[in-house]
Amino acid sequence: MPKPLVIVESPAKARTIAGYLGQEYVVESSIGHVRDLPASPAEVPEEYRSGEMARLAGVDPENDFKTIYISRGRAKDQIKKLRLLLKDASELYLATDEDREGESIAWHLHEVLKPRVPVRRMVFHEITPQAIQRAVDESRDIDLPLVDAQETRRIVDRLYGWELSPVLWRRVRQGLSAGRVQSVATRLVVERERERMAFRPAGWSDLEGDFVPAASDDDDRVAFTAGLHAVDDRRVADRNSFDQQGNLKKPDVVVLDEAGATGLAARLDGKPFTVTSVEQRPWTERPKPPFMTSTLQQAASSKLRWGAARTMQVAQRLYENGYITYMRTDSTTLSETAINAARAAIASRYGQEFLADGPRQYARKVKNAQEAHEAIRPAGDEFRSPEEVSAAVDVDEARLYDLIWRRTVASQMRDALGQRTSVVLAATSSTGERVDFQTSGTVITFAGHRRAYGEGDDVDEGASDEQDRRLPPLVEGDVLDANELRVRSHTTSPPNRYTEASLVKALEELGIGRPSTYAAILSTIQDRGYVFKRGSSLIPTWLAFAVIGLLETHFPRLVDYRFTAELEDDLDAIARREKERVPWLRDFYFGDAPATDGKAGLRALVTVKLDEIDAREVNSFPIGTTEDGDDVVVRVGRYGPYLQKGEERASIPEDLPPDELTVARALELLAEPSGDRALGEDPDTGLQVFAKAGRFGPYVQLGEQEEGSKVRPKTASLFKSMTLDSVTLEDALRLLQLPRTVGADEDGNEITALNGRYGPYIKRKEDTRSLDSEDELFTVSLEHALAMFAAPKLRRGQQRVAAPPLKELGEDPVSGKPVVVKEGRFGPYVTDGETNASLRAGDSVEEITMERAAELLADRRAKGPTKKAARKKAAASKKATKKATAAKQAAKKKKPE
């Protein structure tokens, strides 16, 4: 009997849903997207390889933005499998995710499968038996306006990137990319670094004292701390008194230096203090809304120290296995079922006194018709406890589920209540100065929602110093003794760099991007070399400065925050049927205004002549002027950023943040040995031997190339154990002997020792064997070499005992296997034995932590298998498909007439 075919996006989701639907349904995965725009003009089908369709690889603006989609690799094999299954299906249910991207995937599946059976769209925001059955019963047609919005987004991103990126190739560096959202995200990070570079610190001092009521019985006196607030009714400076250039915002503020504060403390020594004011008022704190995508990423960053990619990867697993609702949403609304489940959990675990008087809703004005309409919460009509889930999932999943459970439950609990007390103390110094000290404290009298979800440590919401500070009972007129007055010196701090969490928050507040894109944006700007991480901070590279500077100067509208946010609103309007796709695209790309108009179309904006963009100006950043009047400039070159002062040049360390590159630091770098130095004379040839820094690393060179000669001097790379500063003439002459002739075998075949891309080795004709160390290049004997060639050649990595790890970090929370740092062909990397992830700029072997390693591994897993692994998997899938087809045809032949 034919059965309904249900197609979901991932194999994990397919397994879970198949278990709920039972034998009456066939459930299969599309494994994500089944087709996309060509990755290059070479992938465009032959019949379309002309004009704009070829130039923009699958998009033709001249023909109403007609698009060509192709399937590649694994997707092709999966489509064949789905077509076979569809032949025996009674109907087709497209059950991809309920957001805009999921709707588009459903449409693409319909287009490539061309079903001849009834087709229904099945949507759900949680994977539970009830939700899946309800999705089947309430299935609908594909929402074409939603598809139009997503396809418009895809076309816009293609046009933006393919029109702007070539400008960057020609004026900054080959291979760079511009992106509608990635460029704006990078601009935010660059602007914050500019603020830090322009920042000038301000210093000030104040006093802090320990006070006790003046009582005869010392044992009954409760001490508390208060800080200097005013002198002669003028406020004492604090960090909010100064601007970013270190200037006072208001002239009537008292600024004490250390000497002034010390003198004031001496003049107050032994003087009585009197309570002049006591204010008490009730304190209330409402619970936060349930999580949406951005706030989940922010909370996971601050509470779990996770990056956005790791958070979304773990959330995806929880969703696919039926533990939480859909995790890509910008809604904070809870369904009635969810509210009832949360209230039941509160009553059971915390008691009725913690229940809010009625259901709490946290509605947001969300325009995005494409997003899910419920917050991220535990799945089901009854919430499984964190303890129950913890027993069934891995450590990361348990931690994230616990966070989601607590935030959801807390949203339906009563407010936290307390009492806030502010106290002002006054005294007169020995020289007649009147000083005021101030303190305050909050005592929580009812924990409320805090019993489930502790507040105060999410992004940008640091716990107050006043919180839970207990003060003794005080009334106006009480006399106090100062046990100690301490001088405190302070310096203003530059604005904090963005973290992944705070950057997501900024993008969301600006209306840029959508929940499903944030993790990808953060990964992209790091992978492209625009941003690197130091700890949790995002630091822009000088390359990012060059790219953003070019875009701001010559294409300001395309990196304007308001323009990007309005573009998102327009896409939402297309999804709501308020605008039509083709007319909107035509206006976006072509426009009606000339290129000088700020509202010109994209094509007009990018037709700026390249000779109008000064590459040297775009890639140059003045740092300052030396005492001798020389300008120090950072330039972004073909092989990386470098410093220039007159004719002097020096490379800039990759992990040096731009705001730390002062004139003084620049002069230190310029003073360091460049590596281009003469080591001495070769006694055999009489030629000078030089040590140099090259594009591919340090090397030594015999002699100099004569003008007009095509014969290049002999060179040799330094060993890993050598440095340009320490290499000697003797070392250099030994290196220049390589490759070394070891001897010849019985047949007269020469054996040589060489240093290659993958390390030291010996060679006989086309046969090679790796050596254990570079030093063996000089010591390996003919006898030993012949023995190595006589032994069977093993695969790479089997010939030698694996080198010990550089560092052991601990157990990976996902795989449960030990994570170590190893040295690889392309630098150090972390691995749990299954997944390898290279260290990025800003990471170091010495400072990397288990948390950072887990984040790198999560990013690597989120990107899927490498091309090589994907090809192997695709080949295996193709083989399995052929085998299944053959078996099916054989079964048909055996079927009785």
Nearest CA to 513 out of 36, 184, 101, 100 is that of 184
- String of b and e for 667-703 (b: at least 16 CB within 10 Å)? bebbeeeebeeebeebeeeeeebbbeeeeeebbbbbb
Q: Up-side HSE of residue 136: CA atoms within 13 Å toward CB?
A: 19
Give how far Cα 651 sits from Cα of 48, 145, 611, 674, Å. 46, 52, 28, 9
Helix (H, G, I), strand (E, B) or coil at 662: coil
Distance from C-alpha of 364 to C-alpha of 367, rounded to nearest angstrom: 9
Whether 689 contacts 682, CB under 8 Å: yes
Distance from C-alpha of 146 to C-alpha of 138, rounded to nearest angstrom: 18
Give how far Cα 105 sits from Cα of 312, 400, 885, Å. 20, 28, 26
Considering the candidates 93, 326, 350, 829, report the single residue annotated as catalytic: 326
Whether 368 contacts 330, CB under 8 Å: yes
User: What residues does 651 pair with on adjacent strands?
Assistant: 642
Residue whose structure tokens are 């080591």: 679
Q: How many residues does the chain have?
A: 897
Distance from C-alpha of 860 to C-alpha of 383, rounded to nearest angstrom: 32
Whether 40 contacts 57, CB under 8 Å: yes
Whether omega before 739 lies within 30 degrees of 0, making that bond cis, reads yes
Distance from C-alpha of 223 to C-alpha of 205, rounded to nearest angstrom: 23
- State the alpha helices, DSSP H only, in 791-897: 850-862, 867-894
326 is catalytic: yes
User: Within a 10 A sphere around the Cβ of 875, how many other Cβ atoms?
Assistant: 13
Amino acid type, 695: R
Distance from C-alpha of 378 to C-alpha of 341, rounded to nearest angstrom: 9
Residue whose structure tokens are 């604005």: 495
DSSP string, 85-122: HHHTEEEEEE---SSHHHHHHHHHHHHHH--SS-EEE-
As a whole number of angstroms, the longest Cα–Cα distance in the chain is 117
DSSP string, 688-730: EEEEEEETTEEEEEES-PPTT--PPPEEEEPPTT--TTT--HH
Give how far Cα 48 sits from Cα of 37, 43, 59, 655, Å. 13, 10, 10, 45
DSSP string, 555-613: -GGGG-HHHHHHHHHHHHHHHTTSS-HHHHHHHHHT-SS-TTSTT--HHHHTTS-GGGS
Contacts of 364 (CB under 8 A, 6+ apart): 289, 292, 330, 331, 332, 333
Distance from C-alpha of 223 to C-alpha of 225, rounded to nearest angstrom: 7
Amino acid type, 29: S
Structure tokens at 162: 């393919």
Provide the annotated active-site residues: 326
